[in-house]
Amino acid sequence: MSQVHDNKAIAQDCHLIPQSQELPYLNPSIPLIQPTINKVIRERITAVLVAPYRPAQPWLPSMYRIMKRFVVIRESADILKIGGRMRKHRKHLLPGRMMIVVIEEREEIHYSDGLYNKNDQIMKQFKELQMVGIVHGGETD
């Protein structure tokens, strides 16, 4: 993929290419993280995503819902290199730690409060029933 015209790139917009036959390695810029997560959900794919570890970001809850594994790694300056375009425009890497995430879309139903995982909801109901049985002294079998 390339942001600018490149004869060797297969496309300029990675969101237009289906990625269901691959294990994509995704390293989107911060404004493209949420659209990338949406694409993973829409296409039901598994991918490796490199993103900044910032717990206050609005896209983080969406990522937690589809996250399979993640590792918080070192500072961004230790991992990423500033490219020619960034140097030319005198831009810098944002400070902070990076994370590598394996994300995988699961069977979900769109519900009023956002994405909803059927298996998680069944386990939640089961645990609530167990607690009710314990509180009232009843059998939960």
Q: What is the mean pLDDT of each run of 10 residues along the chain (141 residues)?
A: 61 62 80 89 87 86 85 77 74 77 69 57 66 52 50
Tell me which residue of 3, 67, 79 sits closest to 37, measured CA to CA: 67
For residue 36, what is the DSSP state? H
**Where does 1-141 show beta strands of DSSP type E?**
25-26, 46-52, 67-75, 97-104, 108-111, 114-117
Instruction: Give the per-residue pLDDT at 70.
Output: 84
Instruction: Give the per-residue pLDDT at 2.
Output: 46
Confidence (pTM): 0.55
Instruction: Give the per-residue pLDDT at 34.
Output: 92
